[in-house]
Chain A
Amino acid sequence: MHSSCAAALLAPWARLAGAALAAGQGVSSGAASAAASGSQTPAPGTAGGEIVLGTSAAFTGPSRGLGNELYRGAMAYFREVNESGGINGRRITLKLYDDGYQPDPCVQNTLKLMLEDDVFLLFGYVGTPTVTRVLPMLKKFQEEQIYMFFPFTGAQPQREPPYGDFAFNLRASYRQETAGLVENFLATGRRRIAVFYQADAYGRSGWAGVRAALENHGETIAGEATYQRGSRFTGTMRAQVEILQRAAPDAVICVGAYAACAAFARDAIDLGLRVPIANLSFVGSENLVNLLSEGRDDPETYTQWLVNSQVVPSYEDESVPAVGEYRKLMARHNPEIPEEFLDDPYSPLPQSFVSLEGFVNAKLMCEIFRRFDGEPTRAGLEDAVFSIRDFDLGIGEQVSFGPDRRQGLQRVYYTVVEDGRFVPLTDWNALPA
C-alpha cells in the first residue's frame, strides 16, 4: 500500500527525470512520447475515461467574480458535453485551485497541477501578473509539453517569444483593445488620454498598449495614476483622481479589475472628473456596474461615463448563435461555485461577458479534443490546435490557429451602459462630454 502510494507520488518526478534524460541523450520529445504511447500508458491527465484540465484562478478575494464567472461559463459547456457522453467517451473535468489573483499562490498551484495532479493541460487561468509568472515554468518543463490554453488575459508575454510557444490564446489582446479605444477617442477629438492602471504586469501591459497606440498618432499619455492590486471598492481612489485631474484629460482608460475601477469611476465623478472612463474586457463589466449602481436611486450618475471594450459579443444579442447556445446552457446547468471557495461569498451572475468568454473557451477546447486521432496526447496537442482553420465558433468570427498564429480571435467590441445593461456602442460622438 505504502509503496504504491510512494510510486504514485514519485511518478511525475520520475517522468520528468526521464524526459530530461531523453532530452540529454538527444532523443526528441516526440520520440519520447511515442515510446510512452507504445507502452500503452495513457497520457497524463487522461486516465479513467477523463481529460483533466488544471485551473488556477481568482475564486476568492476582490477579483473573485472573474475566476468564478469564467469557470461557470466553461462548466456550462463542459457539463453539456459530459452529459452527452463526453468526447470520444471521455469526460472533461477541471482540477481547480484558488490563487486569489496573486502570483505566488498561482505558481504553487501550477506546480501542484503539473507535478502532483498530473493534469493534461492548463486551462482558464485568470490574470496577467499570475500568468506572467507561470510562463517560465512552462518553459522549464517544456519537455513535458504542458500547454496553457485560453488564459483570461490579453497581455503580450504569452503571445510573444520566449513564452509564446507554450500558450494558446483565444481572446483579442490588450494591445488590440487599447488601440481600438485610443483610435476611437482620437477620432472624436479626444486627444488627451490618461491612464489609470493596476501597478503590476497587467496594468503595464495595458499602459504599453495605450502608449503605443498614441505614439502611432504622434501623441503621448496625458497623465497616469496607479493603484495596488487587490484594492477594494470601499477604498478611496481620490489621490489617483487628483493626479489625473491635473493632466486635464479628455478620456481615461482604466486597466484594472472591477473593484478598483468602480472605486475610481465613483471618485472621479464625485470630484468632477467627468470624461469618458474606458475599461478593458478584463475588468468584469457586470460586477463593475453592480458596484456603481447598488443602493443608488440614480445609478446612471456613474455608469453613463463608462465605455467598456469586450472581446466577445454582447450576451444579450441572441442573434449570435453562440450567445443563444450560451444562454440556454447557462440556464440549464447554472454551474454553482465550487464548495471549497464558498468562504468568500459571491453571488453568481445569470450571464456576463466573462462567463460567455469561459463558454467559448470551453467550446473551442472541446473542438480541439475532437481533432485527436485516437487517444489524446500532449505531444499531439499542437497538431490538433493547428488543425483549427476558419472554424466557426458561432460568434461571427472565424477562428484559425497555426505555428505563427496562436491567438484565435482578433475582434474587439465596444459597449456602454444603458438601463443598467451593456449595449453596443454605435456612436462615439454621442459619448457624454
Chain B
Amino acid sequence: MKVHKLFQRMRFGIFALFGLIVLSTSLLCIRTVDTELSAEYAANSQSIAKTIADASVDILLNRNLATLQSLIDQFLEVQGIRYIYITDETGEFLAHTFVPGIPEAILESDPFQAEPVERSLPGMGDFLEVSSPILAGVAGTVHLGMDLDLVALKIQRAIGQQVYLISILLVVGILASIWLVNLVARPLAALLAYAVETARQPPEQRALVVANEKLLERDDEVGQLARLILYMSRTRPPSGPEALPDPGAARSAA
C-alpha cells in the first residue's frame, strides 16, 4: 500500500509538471503565433499595396481604368485581402472592388491616409486597411483591406494545431509516465509482498517461503533486495551491524 501511495505522489508530480509545461508552451505559442502571423499578414498586405502602387503608375498616367481594375481584381484573389480601392490625387475613387457599393465609412475617410487603420464596415466585417502612395502620392493612393476576422480565424487555426500537438504530447507523456512508474512499482510491490510474507513466518520457517524466481533473477536494486531478504531468511539474525552481508555475496549465495 505504501508503495502505491509513493507512486501516486510521483504521478501527481508528473501530471503537474507536464500540465505546467503544456500551459506555458501553449501560452507562449499563442502569443508568438498571434503576434508573428498578424505582423506577417500586415506586412504582406503592405507589400501587395506597394506592388499595386508600383504597377499602377503607367496605367494611371494612361488613364486606362479598365486595366487598373483588372489589376486589382487579380490581387483580390490573395487570401485575406477583402477589398482594394484606388483614389487619385484629388481623392476621387478610380477603381474599387466593393459590391454593391463603396461603404459610407470609406467614402467619408481620408483618402490620403498613409498609416494602417482598423475599420469596422457594417455587413462586411473588421479590417486592417493599409495604404501605399502611387508615384509618391502625386498620382494617387492604393488602399487595401485585410480581413481581420479571416486573419483571426487563420491564427486560431494555427494556434489550435499547435495546442493540439502539445496536448497529444501531454497525453503520450502521461501514458508513458504511468507505464514507467508501473514498471518500477510492480516488482517493488512483489518484493514487498515477499518481504511481508517472510516477516509473517516464525524465524525457523522463513527459509521455507518460496521466493518469486523472476524477482531473484532481476539485475537491479529490487533483485538485490529480494536476494538479501532470502539470505536473511536462511541465516540467523545477526546481533550487530558488522554482520550485515555484502550485496555481492548475497547475489552469489542466491
Contacts and interface: CB of A to CB of B under 8 A. Distances in A.
A128 B102 CA distance: 22
A132 B65 CA distance: 11
Interface SS of chain A: helix
Interface string B59-82: 000111111111001000000000
Given A199-B99, A227-B100, A156 B64 contact: yes
Contact of A208 (B65, B97, B100): B65
B68 A204 contact: yes
Nearest to B76: A199
A243 B69 CA distance: 21
Contact of B69 (A200, A227, A228): A200
Contacts of A203: 69
* Those 7 A-B pairs whose CB atoms lie nearest each other, nearest first: A204-B69, A205-B66, A201-B70, A208-B65, A201-B66, A239-B100, A132-B70
Contact of B66 (A103, A132, A161): A132
A225 interface: yes
Which among B64, B66, B67, B95 has the highest number of chain A CB atoms within 10 Å? Answer: B66
Contact of A226 (B62, B63, B99): B99
A239 B64 CA distance: 29
A237 to B, nearest CB: 8
B99 A208 contact: no
A401 interface: no
Among B64, B97, B98, B99, find the residue whose CB has the most chain A CB atoms closer than 10 A: B64
B100 A225 contact: yes
A243 B68 CA distance: 24
Interface string B32-72: 00000000000000000000000000000011111111100
B202 interface: no
A201 B69 contact: yes
A249 to B, nearest CB: 14
Nearest to B65: A208
A173 to B, nearest CB: 11
Contacts of B102: 224
Given A128-B66, A156-B64, A204 B95 contact: yes
Contacts of A243: 100-101
Interface in A240-271: 240, 243
A202 B102 CA distance: 18
Interface string B203-232: 000000000000000000000000000000
Given A199-B98, A226-B99, A240-B100, A133 B64 contact: no
Given A205-B66, A239-B101, 18 more contacts: A103-B70, A103-B73, A129-B73, A132-B70, A155-B66, A156-B66, A157-B66, A160-B64, A161-B62, A200-B69, A200-B73, A201-B73, A205-B65, A205-B69, A208-B63, A208-B65, A225-B100, A239-B100
Contacts of A103: 70, 73
B99 A132 contact: no
Interface of B: 62-70, 73, 95, 97-102
Interface in A306-336: none
Interface string A93-131: 000000000010000000000000000000000001100
A207 interface: yes
Contacts of A160: 62, 64
Contacts of B101: 224-226, 239-240, 243
B102 to A, nearest CB: 8
A337 B252 CA distance: 100
Interface in A217-242: 224-228, 237, 239-240
Q: Tell me which of B62, B68, B97, B100 has the highest count of chain A C-beta atoms within 10 A of its own C-beta.
A: B100
Contacts of A156: 64, 66
B64 A227 contact: no
A78 B63 CA distance: 38
Contact of B70 (A200, A227, A239): A200
Nearest to B66: A205
Nearest to A199: B99
Contacts of B97: 199
A239 B99 CA distance: 9
A161 B65 CA distance: 13
Contact of B67 (A201, A207, A237, A240): A201
B62 A202 contact: no
A228 B99 contact: yes
Nearest to B77: A104
B193 to A, nearest CB: 76
A71 B118 CA distance: 49
B100 A207 contact: no
B34 to A, nearest CB: 33
Contact of A207 (B63, B65, B99): B65
B108 to A, nearest CB: 15
B29 to A, nearest CB: 37
Nearest to A244: B101
Contact of B64 (A157, A207, A228, A237): A157
A199 B85 CA distance: 12
Interface in A177-208: 199-205, 207-208
Given A226-B98, A227-B99, A208 B70 contact: no
A221 to B, nearest CB: 10
A265 to B, nearest CB: 15
B124 to A, nearest CB: 12
B167 to A, nearest CB: 41
8 contacts: A103-B73, A155-B66, A156-B66, A199-B99, A204-B66, A204-B69, A204-B95, A208-B63
Contacts of B99: 199, 226-228
Contacts of B63: 208
